[in-house]
């Protein structure tokens, strides 16, 4: 199969198992699941899909010399994301960990066509559940890993924080050191670290986007409460779930949904918040390979960066009291 990716270019996938997995129903569903959940669906952020990201992570692992099993794990790492992606974490009050898709991964995959596809090639799907067994794919924060890098590189383009030449330059300076992804250049590590923090501020932990996520979660909780939607609906695609919510004849649900729009504002209000919410904060601290062959995190080499990262996390952590300002109230 020939596949073109805007970041990694055109490549030919030779391994039949990868081709069959990409064409499976479970992986194809991800073409209808947006990375940014509701903010992508209403046009506030670029409409990047979990499919694009999943294939991209696999291509990055492949390009770094990862074995076939790790490429498979990379392709499947996000397959258990629900419609609206991380909005579901807000539904279940897991804002800070955002790990609902990991918690249900085994049970979800067991009910899809993936076990049968993998069995054809002699694999048990359970071999690919523990992502930490694949060190290029996944590392604990704030280290670099293929998952973290791919979603960042895509978003840096979509958020106008980088150009394609920036991204291509980063890819040239990625290396594998002692089984983990690192950079061979401190300037590249610095660009990665600061731009990653800017992406978190701009989107992943953006005050406005977090407010929209919480409102959408409240709408979904209401829909579950009155039986308009069920958990099975989460395993479809974004548009189908959104349409089901919009069609529900429930005044309270429609009141909440009427606020889920780009021009709704959110104001920090300690005295009279509509709700209080927190979110997951994302930063990286890339390893840099030094001339003597050893490696060190950027924070050990650049004290200014270490201090800025510390301040950023300190300022953003904790509960955010938000007052919702409807468009017609201004």
State the Cα–Cα distance between residues 68 and 131, nearest whole angstrom: 14
Paired residues of 49 in beta bridges: 34
pLDDT attached to residue 330: 61
- Contact between 39 and 210 under an 8 Å Cβ cutoff? The reply is no
Does the pTM surpass 0.85? The reply is yes
pLDDT tens digits for range 66-85? 999 999 999 999 999 999 99
Question: What would the pLDDT profile of 22-49 be if each residue is shown by its tens digit?
Answer: 999 999 999 999 999 999 999 999 999 9
Give the single-character DSSP code of 34: B
Residue 329 pLDDT > 90: no
Q: Could you tell me how far CA 143 lies from the centroid of its own chain?
A: 16
% of the chain residues with pLDDT over 70: 100
Predicted confidence (pLDDT) per residue in 260-284, tens digit? 999 999 999 999 999 999 999 999 9
Per-residue pLDDT band at 210 (split at 50, 70, 90): very high
Rounded to an integer, the average pLDDT of 304-311 is: 98
Query: How many CB atoms lie under 10 A from the CB of residue 28?
Result: 12
Rounded percentage of the chain residues whose pLDDT exceeds 90:
97
Instruction: Give which of 65, 60, 69 is closest to 21, Cα–Cα.
Output: 69
Tell me how far apart the alpha carbons of residues 102 and 107 are, in angstroms, rounded to a whole number.
10
The two three-digit tokens of residue 263, written as one number? 């021009």
> Residue 271 burial by CB count (10 A; 0-12/13-18/19+): exposed, middle or buried?
exposed
For the segment 178-205, the average pLDDT, to the nearest whole number, is: 97
**Token duo for residue 179:** 């089984």
Q: Collapsing DSSP states into helix, strand and coil, what is residue 45?
A: coil
SS3 content of the chain, % helix, strand, coil (to 5): 55, 10, 35
Question: What six digits make up the tokens of 101?
Answer: 């898709």
Alpha carbon 17 to its chain's center: 25
């Amino acid at each position: 199969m020939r596949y073109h990716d805007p970041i990694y270019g055109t490549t030919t996938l030779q391994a039949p198992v990868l081709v069959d997995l990409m064409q499976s129903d479970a992986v194809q569903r991800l073409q209808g699941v947006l990375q940014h959940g509701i903010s992508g669906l209403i046009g506030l952020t670029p409409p990047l899909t979990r499919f694009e990201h999943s294939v991209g992570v696999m291509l990055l692992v492949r390009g770094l010399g990862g074995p076939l099993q790790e490429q498979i794990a990379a392709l499947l790492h996000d397959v258990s994301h629900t419609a609206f992606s991380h909005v579901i974490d807000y539904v279940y009050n897991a804002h800070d960990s955002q790990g609902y898709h990991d918690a249900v991964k085994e049970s979800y995959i067991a009910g899809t066509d993936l076990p049968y596809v993998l069995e054809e090639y002699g694999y048990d799907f359970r071999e690919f559940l523990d992502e930490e067994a694949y060190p290029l794919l996944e590392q604990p924060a704030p280290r670099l890993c293929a998952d973290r890098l791919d979603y960042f590189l895509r978003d840096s383009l979509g958020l106008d924080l980088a150009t394609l030449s920036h991204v291509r330059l980063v890819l040239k300076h990625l290396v594998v050191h002692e089984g983990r992804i690192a950079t061979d250049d401190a300037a590249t590590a610095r660009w990665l670290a600061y731009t990653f923090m800017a992406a978190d501020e701009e989107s992943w932990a953006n005050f406005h986007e977090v407010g929209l996520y919480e409102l959408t979660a409240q709408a979904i909780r209401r829909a579950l409460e009155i039986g308009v939607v069920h958990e099975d609906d989460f395993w479809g695609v974004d548009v189908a779930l959104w349409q089901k919510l919009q069609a529900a004849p429930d005044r309270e649900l429609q009141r909440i949904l009427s606020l889920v729009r780009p021009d709704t504002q959110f104001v920090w209000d300690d005295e009279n918040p509509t709700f209080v919410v927190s979110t997951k904060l994302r930063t990286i601290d890339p390893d840099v390979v030094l001339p003597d062959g050893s490696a060190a995190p950027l924070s050990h080499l650049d004290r200014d960066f270490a201090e800025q990262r510390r301040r950023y996390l300190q300022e953003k952590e904790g509960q955010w009291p938000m007052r919702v300002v409807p468009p017609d109230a201004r």
